[in-house]
Structure 1
Amino acid sequence: MKNKKILLIYFIFGFIWVYLTDYLVGLYIPLDWLLVVQKIKGTIYVLITGIIIYFALIKMDELNNSKEQEEKLTTLINSMVDFVCFKDGEGCWIEANNFGLRLFQLEDVDYRGKKDSELAECTEFYREALLFCARSDEETWKNGEITRFEKNIPLPDGTEKNFDTIKVPLFNENGTRKGLVVIGRDITDRRIAEEQVRRSEKLSIAGELAASVGHEIRNPLTSIKGFVQLLEEKDQGNKLYYEIMSKELNRIDHIVGELLLLAKPQKIYFSKNDLSIIVSDIVSLLEPQANMNNVSIHFEAKQAVIIDCEENLLKQLFINIIKNAIEAYSEKGTVWVEITKVSSESVLVTVVDKGSGISEEFLTRLGEPFYSSKEKGTGLGLTVSHKIVERHNGTIRYSSQERTGTKVEIELPVKNSIK
C-alpha cells in the first residue's frame, strides 16, 4: 500500500513538473534559448529523480536488512525450546516465540502491543499465570537487576510444567525503562529425574538398613514368638495379653519381611502371563477382607492381556495397591479395578476408590520408606510396589483429593526383558 502511494506521488510530481515547466518556458523563454532551457530542465529533472531514487534505494536496503534481521531473530527464538518473550518499557509484548504462544494458548491472538493483564482476558485458563507474570515483571523493574525463580504452569490435561524463569530488565541512559527479556526453561524432566534419584537413594538406604538388621531381628523374633505361644498354653489367665503380644510380634515380622524384600538383590525372570488372571486372583484373595470392611470390589477386564512379567512380584504389587484402596474406606464403599490396553506396547491397570483420599503433602511423598498416612503404617508396602513397577520398566501415577478418593494408574509394557 505504501509503495503504491509513493509511485502515485512520483507520477503526479512528474506530470506537474513536465507540464508546468513547459508552460513557464513557453511563456517567458525566447525561442533562441528554448532548446537550452529544455535540456537544463531535463537535466534538473533527472538529478532530482535520481537523488530521490538513490535515497529510496538506501531506505529499501535498510528496510530489507531490518526485515532480514527480524526474520533471523524470529527463526532463532522459534527454534529455541525455551519460552522467550521481549517486552517494552511499559510491559507490552513486542515479540514471543511459538513455544510461548502455544504454552499460553495465544496462537490466534494479536499479542503485540498488549500487556499481560490484557492478554489474561484472552485466555481464561492461563489468566492467573499471566497476571502473576505482570506482578513478577514489576518486582524485576523495582529490583533493577536480573531475577530468577521457578514457576509451575498448569496444563489443560491436569499436569504441570516446571519452568526456571530468568527476567532481564533493560534501562535507558537516564534510568527509564527500556525493555524486558523473559526466558523460561522447561525443567520438568530434570525435576522428575532428580526426584527419581532422590527416591532411589532412599530405597538404597532402606535396602542397606534392611540387609544389616533384617535377619538379626528375625532370628530372635522367632524365638520370642515360640516362647509366647508356649506361655499362652500354660497361662490361660493372661490369654488376652499373650494374644496382643502375638499380634504385635506378627506385625514386626511383617515389617521385617517387607524390609527384606527391599534388600534382596534378586534377579527376576520374565515369562508370559495373562495380566487379567493375575489381577483376578488377587481380587478373589482380597474379597474376604473387603467384605469384612463392608467394601465390594468391582473388577473389569475386557480381554486377555498377555505381558512379560514376574507373576509373584506383580501379585505382591496388586495386593498392596488394592489393599490400600480397601482400607481407605471407613464405612461401606466400592473399589473399582480395571485393565485396559493402551496400545500394542503397553497396558494400564487402574484402581479407584472413593475413600478418605490423600492430602497433597502425602501425595508428593508416596513411595518413600517409613512415610505413611496410616496410623500404624510404615510406608514400606508402597516402597516395595514402586520398586516392582520400576523393575518391570513401568510407571505408577496417583491422583487424589482428601475426602474424595484416590486413583492409582499402573502402566506396564507388554514386552520386557530379563533384569
Structure 2
Amino acid sequence: MQYEDVSYKFKTTILAAALDQAPLGIAVVDTRQRFMQINNLFSNVMEMDSERLIGCTIYEVMCEKSGAVQAEKLTTIAKQIITTGGIYTINAWKSLNSWQYIDWTLKRLEVDGVAIGVLVTIADVSKQVQLQQEVETYQQQLAHLVEKSTAELRRANERFYTAFNVMPSLMLISDQQGRIINANSSFAKVTGWKKEETIGCTPVEIGLCSQAVFEDIEYKFWQDGYVRNMEISLMTQAGQIRSALFSAEKIVVDGETQMLGMATDVTDAKLMKSEMMRLDGLDLVGQMAAGISHEVRNPMTTVRGFLQMLLKKEECKPYQEYFELMITELDRANSIISEFLAVVKNKPSCHVETDLNTIIKAIEPLLATAAVASGSTVVLELGKIRCLFLDDKEIRQLLLNLVRNGLEAMEEQPGLVTVRTYEEEDQVVLAIQDQGTGIPPQILAKLGTPFLTSKNNGTGLGLTVCYGIVERHKGKLEVSTGAEGTTFYIRFSQ
C-alpha cells in the first residue's frame, strides 16, 4: 500500500505538471457546466484567476468575456456534447476585453461509457488570425492592382483597336513572313476583301499587290526598320487599280517583331490634280483663244480675199495650184482658231429644256454621212429618258466630235459606232461606243489635255472642247477602253 501511494502521488504530480505546462488552455467542466479544473494557460488566455473560474458556469464566464449571445451559444453546444458526445470546434471567438481570437474545442468526458463532464481546450490564435488578415488584405490589394492593370490594359487595347479601325487609311499588321495578322475596316472597305479572307495570307496571295512591290516593301522595311510614303499600286477585289502612299513601323507583340503598315489612298487626289491641270490648260487655251482669234482672223481674211482675186487673173493661171494650196492652208488655220474659240470657258450658252433623243435624231443624217465616208456604220439605240436643260448647238458639237473620234479609231478596220441613251441611278446617260483598238495608256492618263493627240493631223482640241461642253452642262465624262474598243459615257445629273 505504501508503494501504491507513492506511485499514485508520482502520477498525480506528473499529470498536474503536464496539465500546467501544456501548450493549450485546458479545463474540465462537470455535467452542470461548472469549471472543476483549469490549467495556467487557460486562466491566462481568459484573463481570469483560477480561483475565480473554479465553480463558475460556462455561461457566466462567457457572458462576462464575450457577451450573452456567444455565452448562450457555447452553453447550448456544451449541453449537446454532454448528451450526444462527439467533438465540436468553434473558431475565432473574440474576447470583449481584448483583441484576442480564441479557438474552442469541446469533447465529452466519459467513465465506463457514462458522461462525467466536458473537456474544454482553447488556443490563442490572434497572431495567426492577424497574419491571415494581413495575407487577405495583401491578396485584396494585389487583386485590386491586377484588376486595375487589366482594366487599363483592356482600355488601352480598346483605344488602339478603336483608332485602328476608324482610321481612314488602310491599316494592317503582318508577321515577319509578311502574312497578314489583322486589318482595319478601311482596308476591307477600299479593297473589298473581308478581314477573315486576308488573315494568314500575304498581300501577293490575295492579289492586293504584285510580287515586285511586296519584295520592295519587305526589303526596305527589314533593312531600315521603317518605310516612308512609298508610292505603290494596289488592286481591289473587283480588279480596280488604286494608287497609295505606303508607310510602315515596327511593333513588338509578345516578344515578336511585327509590321504595322498604313496605306493612304491617293487615287482621287491624283485624279483631282490631273483634272486641275486639265482645267488650267483649258483656262490657258481660253485666254489664248480670246486674245488672238480676232487679231489673227482679220488679216487672214484679207490675205484669202487677195488670193482669190489673184486666182481669177489670167496672168496668174500658171500659179493656180499654189494659190489653191495657200487658200486651203488658210482655211485650215481658220478652223483651228474656231476650235480655240470653242474651248473658251466663259462662252455664252443657251440651255433650254430639250429631249436629248431629238437632238441625236436631228443630226443622224450627218453622222451617217461621216460613217459612210470612213466605211463604218453608226447605229442609234435611244432609250426612254427625261428632258434635260441643254444647249442644242453644244450637244451637236459634242456628238459630232465623239462620233468622229470613234470613226477615226476604226480607220484601219471599219466597224460599228453605237450611240445609246438610257437612265441609270437618277442620271441620264449618253454613251458613244466604237470597235477600235482602244486608247493607249499614256494618252488615257492625260485625256482632255489641250494639244494632246495621237492623230497625224489632229489639233488635240476636240476632246478638250467635249470636256468643256460637259462641264457647262454640269455633267461628268467617263471613259472605258480596251482592246475591243472605247466607250465614252456622258452622265447628266440634272
- Range class of TM-score, shorter chain: 0.7 to 0.9
Q: 1:307 to 1:264 in 2, by over 3 A?
A: closer
Give distance in 2, aligned partners of 1:142 and 1:277: 66
Match of 1:205 among 280, 284, 298: 284
Whichever residue aligns with residue 423 of structure 2, its letter is K
Match of 2:424 among 326, 342, 360: 342
Q: Is this contact kept in 1: 2:339–2:461, CA < 8 A?
A: yes
SS in 1 for 2:299: helix
Match of 1:59 in 2: 146
Residue range with higher mean Cα deviation, 254-263 or 96-105: 96-105
**Deviation (angstroms), 1:245:** 3.3
Q: Given the alignment of the two structures, is residue 279 of structure 1 paired with residue 366 of structure 2, yes or no?
A: no
**Deviation (angstroms), 1:375:** 0.3
Whichever residue aligns with residue 303 of structure 1, its letter is K
Q: Is this contact kept in 2: 1:167–1:181, CA < 8 A?
A: yes
Q: Is this contact kept in 2: 1:392–1:413, CA < 8 A?
A: no
Deviation >6 Å, runs of 4+:
29-34, 37-50
Match of 1:5 in 2: none
Q: Is this contact kept in 2: 1:146–1:169, CA < 8 A?
A: no
Q: Given the alignment of the two structures, is residue 227 of structure 1 paired with residue 227 of structure 2, yes or no?
A: no
Q: Given the alignment of the two structures, is residue 410 of structure 1 paired with residue 490 of structure 2, yes or no?
A: yes
Q: Is this contact kept in 2: 1:307–1:413, CA < 8 A?
A: no
Match of 2:223 among 142, 157, 165: 142
Match of 1:379 in 2: 460
Whichever residue aligns with residue 295 of structure 2, its letter is E
Deviation by residue 1:47-90 (Cα, 9 ceiling, x = unmatched): 76776665445434333322222112111222221112344566
Match of 1:74 in 2: 161
Match of 2:249 in 1: 168
Q: 1:71 to 1:316 in 2, by over 3 A?
A: same
* Matched residue count: 376
Q: 1:283 to 1:408 in 2, by over 3 A?
A: same
Q: 1:46 to 1:292 in 2, by over 3 A?
A: same
Deviation by residue 1:285-328 (Cα, 9 ceiling, x = unmatched): 22112111111101111214300121111111111111111111
Whichever residue aligns with residue 76 of structure 1, its letter is A
Deviation by residue 1:306-351 (Cα, 9 ceiling, x = unmatched): 001211111111111111111111232110110111233x211111
Query: For the aligned residues, what is the CA RMSD?
Result: 3.4
Q: 1:131 to 1:58 in 2, by over 3 A?
A: farther
SS in 2 for 1:368: coil
Q: Which has the higher strand share?
A: 2
**Deviation (angstroms), 1:215:** 1.8
SS in 2 for 1:323: helix
Give distance in 2, aligned partners of 1:158 and 1:283: 37
Give distance in 2, aligned partners of 1:326 and 1:305: 28
Describe how 1:193-272 pairs up with structure 2 within 5 A: 193-234=272-313, 239-263=320-344, 265-272=346-353
Residue range with higher mean Cα deviation, 361-370 or 42-51: 42-51
Give distance in 1, aligned partners of 2:474 and 2:355: 18
Match of 1:394 in 2: 475
Give distance in 1, aligned partners of 2:195 and 2:181: 16
Q: Given the alignment of the two structures, is residue 369 of structure 1 paired with residue 456 of structure 2, yes or no?
A: no
Q: 1:75 to 1:379 in 2, by over 3 A?
A: same
Match of 2:102 in 1: none
Higher relative contact order by CA 8 Å / sep ≥ 6: 1 or 2? Answer: 1
Give distance in 2, aligned partners of 1:339 and 1:35: 105
Deviation by residue 1:140-185 (Cα, 9 ceiling, x = unmatched): 221245421222323345544332222234589xxx9844332222
Whichever residue aligns with residue 385 of structure 1, its letter is C
Give distance in 2, aligned partners of 1:177 and 1:168: 14
Give distance in 2, aligned partners of 1:224 and 1:337: 41
SS in 2 for 1:163: strand
Q: Given the alignment of the two structures, is residue 103 of structure 1 paired with residue 190 of structure 2, yes or no?
A: yes
**Deviation (angstroms), 1:248:** 2.5
Q: Which has the higher helix share?
A: 1
**Which protein shows a greater Rg?**
2
Residue range with higher mean Cα deviation, 32-41 or 326-335: 32-41
Residue range with higher mean Cα deviation, 217-226 or 150-159: 150-159
Q: Is this contact kept in 2: 1:87–1:180, CA < 8 A?
A: yes
Residue range with higher mean Cα deviation, 225-234 or 350-359: 225-234
Give distance in 2, aligned partners of 1:305 and 1:231: 55
Q: Is this contact kept in 2: 1:276–1:305, CA < 8 A?
A: no
Q: 1:286 to 1:101 in 2, by over 3 A?
A: closer
Percent identity between matched residues is 24
Deviation by residue 1:355-374 (Cα, 9 ceiling, x = unmatched): 13221001111211111110
Whichever residue aligns with residue 317 of structure 1, its letter is L
Match of 2:404 among 323, 331, 340: 323
